[in-house]
Structure 1
């Protein structure tokens, strides 16, 4: 049984949230499980982490989750859409910030025939102040239906970098392309993998690249469909695959790199300039085009 099926079948301490949503416990995480006529999905309250999303039109999850991920307190989940905040990368500890390893609160949940709308929130507390001495309020709005939409907003007197670090499920990474990336990028690996076409990536080795002038829309072209990714108020798009280095990552299967690619909506080169007076937000909309 796959990890997604296991989560779907978990009913420990079940609490009904709405007609299509229930809350359960899986290992050390509190999970919201969504089963709606338009899609199935799950969210961990640790990190406000969208674990997977599979719209009705797709035979496989579009948002991918590692079969070997760990559902331990304070350990980041591998796959889904991790929220990297208030910094991106290894500029401080923990890498990619603390938002993905602390518990958020369920603020609201509603639904209609189009899907489920969920709001999760995080405010500074004793735990977060161990990592970052700032007052802040974060809110993640999710719409899960035929489309998948995430909007992260923050409020407080600070600047921050971050990413919606989306893992997309693909048939075979060597057979796909990602377009709409723009011409300029920062290479984060020593290996050279120059695009054959400007603004477009195909994959035959490990890639870790920050595109600094991306188009508003990225397209992942797979065998029988295209994943359309609309970036909202972003400054950068990151593409990442570990390729065969996956064998050295404890929560990835050795061959798992064949079936996902990361295309991330980011604020890196232009950090979020937040204030106490108004919310600042960025986000992503994901659609499947047949």
Structure 2
């Protein structure tokens, strides 16, 4: 027999469904903080969908990290009204499925250079090594070592570490060891006001277009959007800015060789099951990469690259 409380909850849920109100996925994740296990004052761990997720509510920011893929899901500084790092409303939180949005780690290969596409690092669970916080924010270190799960995709031994700092700024660094070359991308999805108003500067003039029809820039080194874009810039500045008419996001790359820009535009957005039809308007990918100059891993020395993001 259902209690009065459970009946009221069911009625309220039906009203929400009928009215078309859909609680944002980010709010759902943040709400799970209340029932999670505490790792520190500002970090709680819970299960969201099928995946263990670290939910961060710090005075400087809100954010979340999935242990699958060591995947920073979103980041919103306390000074901002919308997330700077974006998460799709239709993202999957299922085991061994890629999560749409945030900062997926493409490693140890990018694109179709191996199977699965973009590597396996984003599909397997990483270990949380440390969780610390201070007045400036939260610092996490996660690690992945070759194991039974990874050996289905890749048989060579390796170690990888991801460090994440979230506060008023966001910093992500990938370090790895092994005896092979790896291509990689920190595949960041940025939240923007409207793609029609976006200008990305600092990309340089040299790029490889991955689409059959080019969207040639009207100003060299700058990119605006009026159709699908999928491009690898090979000589970008260390500092790149993303202006959307309301705010400017600064991306500073560290030891990167390439920058990928991507927006699926109308048709591809409609074709993706984990991407809402209109979401192409509210995101743009500007990715920190090692593609044309692969990471040359050594067994005794770490290969490192990463980025810093801030709103200026």
TM-score, normalised by the number of residues in structure 2: 0.91
> What is the CA distance between 1:13 and its match in structure 2?
6.6
Aligned to 2:166: 144
Q: Which residue pairs with 1:276 in the alignment?
A: 299
1:85 aligns with 2:110: no
Instruction: Give the aligned length.
Output: 289
Residue 255 (structure 1) aligned with residue 281 (structure 2): no
Where structure 2 has 5 or more consecutive residues not aligned to the other structure, the ranges are 1-22
Residue 265 of structure 1 aligns to a residue whose secondary structure is strand
Which protein has the larger Cα radius of gyration, Structure 1 or Structure 2? Answer: 2
- Which of 268, 278, 288 in structure 2 is aligned with 1:265? 288
- Which of these residues, 201, 205, 210, is aligned with residue 227 of structure 2? 205
Structure 1 match to 2:242? 220
For 1:223-272, what per-residue CA distance to the aligned partner results, in whole angstroms no more than 9, with x for missing partners? 22100000000000000000002000010000110000000000000000
Equivalent position to 2:208, from 177, 186, 194: 186
Does 2:68 align with 1:58? no
Q: Answer yes or no: is the 8 Å Cα contact 2:165–2:172 preserved in 1.
A: yes
Displacement of 1:92 after TM fit? 1.4
Q: Distance in 2 between matches of 1:249 and 1:146?
A: 32
Question: Which whole-Å CA distance do the structure 1 matches of 2:244 and 2:265 have between them?
Answer: 17
Q: Displacement, 1:141?
A: 0.4
Check whether the contact 1:11–1:25 (CA below 8 A) recurs between aligned residues.
no
Q: Say yes or no: does 1:98 pair with 2:120.
A: yes
Give the secondary-structure state (helix, strand or coil) at the position aligned to 1:240.
strand
CA positional deviation for 1:12: 8.5
CA contact 1:74–1:102 (8 Å) conserved in 2: yes
1:125 maps to what in 2? 147
Task: Give the one of 156, 160, 170 matched to 2:178.
Answer: 156
1:17 to 29, 39, 42: 39
Structure-1-length-normalised TM-score: 0.98
Distance (Å, rounded) in 1 between the aligned partners of 2:210 and 2:36 = 43
Q: Which has the higher helix share?
A: 2
How far apart in 2 are the matches of 1:38 and 1:26?
Answer: 23
Deviation at 1:14, TM superposition (A): 2.1
Give 1:142 shift. Answer: 0.5
Q: Name the CA distance, whole Å, in 2 between partners of 1:275 and 1:91.
A: 20
- In structure 2, how many angstroms separate the alpha carbons of the residues matched to 1:258 and 1:62? 14
CA distance in 2 between counterparts of 1:215 and 1:12 reads: 42
